[in-house]
């Protein structure tokens, strides 16, 4: 217990301090001040439990000090000491809530210490009562919160239902009722780590603000701090949700969204109407400029026909391994969400995007096999889409996955296939050097388009198809000539029309006439 002695006479102040009833009450500290102004400064720093204050003091008298100190602490007890017998002064002291008014010239110290002991016991009793009340209030609040949570979750027992019927006049207010959902804006939430402490702090601030704004309408709420969402149950008169939106920005610097259900007659219907309010707020998932108060939703359960058709077209392109076509069509696909008048629920869009990923990984199985790595990549992509906090986040996750598969797996595997294809064709040409083989013959043999084969052959082999055939024949001709065969015989064997054309081609490739190799 802390006692303050305010007296301009140091001898009297010291005498009072020495005579305090230390043996009867637990005095932990005695503060001293020589006038009202000095006492007020110390009071502001540490409000004491009991103040003994003289009336007549320089700079600020005792009553003025009591008036200002009372504004700082309502729990402090004041004893006014005076030598005056002034009725008006005594009347003012009583109006200020002074606990005791004593005449310094006639009161003895035993009586003064008795007054102090009595006030100390009064304070101790009040503190115990306050603690009990706080404990009981906290218990009742927890019980009410649990009841509200069970009501919202639809898990009330028959006993709880009967209890609600008995208590609804006092606990639930008057019909009709409304369900609200408060949510913090995504951009604001993203700037703060979503810790439980942060959620509690924001929730406590909002709770106090709601109680202040709607003292006669708020029944209670259920907090979901991890998602920075709060579900409110209100009764008539149903307030204006714009009040909390504006007050949150003005007093807490928070941009919040409020989704409101239609009114309903019984608090037992809170669950279904809360779900409706939740659904209204799903419009926010699409981003863009939306109001901060949602009262209804135009979202549809199924994909609109135009959007469903775009998903079908992309799946067909994926099945045909036309990943580049899917990526090229993506801007038009995303533009739909900015221009359409009917939007589906977010889970329908996410399901469509997840199906694209399933088709994507199924299409590349012939290249990669259904390995554990590929299965995990597919599952991770679906998880990113399913947990996306906005349309843009979901679209970006799907696009990046298609792009990654196209750039790092499909094109790479295509390149490997091209390499194997050209190696096979080159080996075929080496095995048939004496046959007349044309580009169209090889294209037909390998079930390819002749123009495509010509382009791919040059990309992989570094020379044209016809140039490679000539190279093969000239290399074979060189070996034949070195083995003593005549030029005319070599030209005939390799299918040249005459010696001149063979000689011209040989000289072009080797830089010398074939006759130079004759022994």
Query: What pLDDT score was predicted for residue 92?
Result: 86
| Sheet bearing 77-82, strands edge to edge | 29-33, 2-6, 50-54, 77-82, 100-103
H-run or E-run covering 501: helix 499-510
Q: Above 80 in pLDDT, residue 174?
A: no
Instruction: Say which residue, 281 or 409, is predicted with more confidence.
Output: 281
What is residue 288's predicted lDDT score, i.e. its pLDDT? 67
Report the C-alpha gap between 122 and 109 in whole angstroms: 20
**pLDDT at residue 163 in the model:** 55
Structure confidence by residue, pLDDT tens digits, 100-153: 888 877 777 888 888 888 888 888 888 887 777 666 655 555 666 666 666 666
- What stretches of 179-304 show up as alpha helix (H) in DSSP? 186-190, 196-213, 241-252, 270-281
Segment 443-469 shows an average pLDDT of 82
- Structure tokens of 290? 């939306």
How many other CB atoms are found less than 10 A from the CB of residue 482? 11
Q: Which long-range contacts (CB under 8 A, 24 or more apart) does 210-218 make?
A: 210/244, 213/239, 213/243, 213/244, 213/247, 214/239, 214/243, 214/244, 216/173, 217/173
pLDDT at position 482 is: 83
pLDDT at position 413: 59
- Host H or E run for residue 232: strand 229-236
- Answer whether 348's CB lies under 8 Å from 302's CB: yes
CA distance 9 to 33: 10
pLDDT band at residue 191 under the 50/70/90 scheme: very low
- Where in 271-324 does DSSP place strands (E)? 293-294
Residue 122 makes CB contacts below 8 A (sequence gap 6+) with 77
Q: Which two tokens stand for residue 74?
A: 């309502």
Determine the average pLDDT of the residues in 340-368: 87
Q: Where are the beta strands (DSSP E) in 160-200?
A: 174-184
The fraction of the chain above a pLDDT of 90, given in percent, is 18
Token reading at 131: 């603690």
User: What is the C-alpha separation between 3 and 27, in angstroms, rounded?
Assistant: 7
The model's pTM:
0.46
What are 307's two structure tokens? Answer: 């959007």
Return all residues near 42 (Cβ < 8 A) that are at least 6 apart: 4, 31, 33
Provide mean pLDDT across the span 151-170.
55
Q: Are strands 29-33 and 256-260 parallel, antiparallel or unpaired?
A: unpaired
Q: CA–CA separation, 77 vs 219, rounded Å?
A: 37
Rounded CA separation 18/3 (Å): 12
> Quick check: 223 and 199 in contact, CB under 8 A?
yes
The CA distance from 358 to 352, in Å, is 10
Q: What pairs with residue 183 in β-bridges? A: 229, 257
Is residue 158 scored above 70 in pLDDT? no
Lowest mean pLDDT among 108-117, 281-290, 461-470: 281-290
Tracing tokens 């595997």 back to the chain, one arrives at 413
- 410: confidence class by pLDDT, cuts 50, 70, 90: low
CB 467: neighbour CB atoms within 10 A? Answer: 14
Model confidence at 196, pLDDT cuts 50, 70, 90, reads low
Mean pLDDT score across all residues of the chain: 82
d(CA 225, CA 397): 27
Phi, psi at residue 215, to the nearest 5°? -65, -25
With 80 as the cut, is the pLDDT of residue 229 above it?
A: yes
* pLDDT tens digits, 496-514: 778 888 888 888 888 888 8
pLDDT at residue number 395: 94
What is residue 192's predicted lDDT score, i.e. its pLDDT? 47
Work out the number of other CB atoms within 10 angstroms of the CB of residue 168. 17
Q: Show Cβ contacts of residue 361 under 8 Å, excluding neighbours closer than 6 positions.
A: 374, 377, 378, 405
Radius of gyration of the chain (CA): 45
Least confident of 17-21, 150-154, 328-332, 381-385: 150-154
Q: How confident is the model at residue 394 (pLDDT cuts 50, 70, 90)?
A: very high
286 vs 310, higher pLDDT: 310
Q: Say whether 511 sits in a helix, a strand or coil.
A: coil
Mean pLDDT, residues 318-336 taken together: 89
pLDDT one-digit tens code per residue, 26-83: 888 899 998 889 999 999 988 998 999 888 888 888 889 989 998 888 888 998 888 8
Compare 262 and 433 and report the one with higher pLDDT: 262
């Amino acid at each position: 217990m802390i006692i303050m002695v305010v007296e301009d006479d140091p001898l009297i102040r010291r005498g009072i301090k020495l005579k305090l009833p230390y043996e009867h009450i637990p005095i932990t500290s005695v503060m001293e001040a020589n006038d009202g102004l000095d006492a007020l400064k110390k009071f502001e720093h540490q409000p004491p439990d009991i103040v003994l204050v003289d009336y007549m003091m320089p700079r600020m008298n005792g009553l003025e000090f009591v008036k200002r100190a009372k504004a700082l602490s309502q729990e402090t007890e004041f004893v006014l000491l005076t030598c005056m017998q002034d009725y008006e002064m005594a009347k003012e002291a009583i109006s200020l809530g002074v606990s005791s008014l004593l005449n310094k010239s006639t009161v003895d110290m035993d009586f003064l210490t008795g007054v102090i002991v009595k006030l100390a016991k009064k304070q101790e009793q009040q503190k115990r009562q306050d603690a009990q009340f706080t404990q009981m209030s906290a218990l009742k609040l927890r019980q009410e919160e649990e009841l509200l949570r069970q009501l919202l979750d639809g898990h009330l027992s028959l006993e709880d239902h009967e209890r609600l019927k008995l208590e609804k006049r006092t606990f639930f207010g008057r019909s009709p009722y409304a369900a609200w959902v408060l949510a913090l804006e995504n951009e604001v939430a993203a700037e703060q780590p979503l810790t439980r402490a942060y959620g509690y702090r924001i929730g406590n601030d909002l709770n106090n603000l709601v109680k202040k704004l709607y003292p006669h309408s708020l029944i209670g709420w259920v907090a979901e701090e991890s998602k920075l969402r709060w579900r409110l149950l209100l009764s008539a008169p149903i307030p204006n949700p714009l009040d909390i939106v504006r007050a949150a920005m003005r007093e807490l610097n928070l941009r919040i969204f409020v989704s409101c259900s239609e009114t309903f007659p019984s608090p037992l219907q809170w669950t279904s109407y809360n779900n409706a309010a939740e659904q209204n707020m799903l419009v926010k998932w699409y981003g863009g400029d939306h109001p901060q108060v949602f009262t209804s939703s135009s979202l549809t359960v199924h994909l609109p026909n135009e959007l469903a058709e775009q998903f079908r077209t992309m799946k067909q392109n994926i099945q045909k391994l036309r990943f580049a076509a899917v990526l090229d069509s993506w801007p038009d696909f995303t533009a739909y969400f900015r221009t359409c008048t009917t939007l589906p629920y977010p889970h329908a869009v996410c399901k469509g995007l997840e199906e694209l990923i399933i088709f994507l990984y199924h299409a590349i199985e012939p290249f990669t096999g259904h390995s554990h790595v590929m299965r995990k990549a597919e599952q991770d992509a679906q998880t990113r889409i399913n947990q996306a906090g906005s349309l843009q986040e979901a679209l970006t996750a799907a696009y990046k996955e298609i792009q990654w598969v196209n750039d790092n797996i499909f094109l790479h595997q295509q390149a490997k296939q091209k390499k194997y294809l050209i190696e096979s064709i080159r080996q075929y040409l080496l095995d048939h050097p004496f046959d007349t083989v044309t580009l169209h013959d090889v294209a037909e043999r390998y079930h390819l388009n002749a123009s495509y084969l010509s382009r791919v052959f040059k990309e992989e082999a570094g020379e044209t198809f016809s140039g490679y055939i000539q190279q093969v024949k000239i290399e074979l001709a060189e070996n034949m000539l070195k083995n003593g065969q005549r030029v005319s015989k070599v030209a005939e064997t390799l299918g040249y029309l005459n010696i001149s054309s063979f000689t011209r081609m040989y000289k072009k490739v080797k830089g010398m006439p074939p006759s130079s190799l004759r022994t």
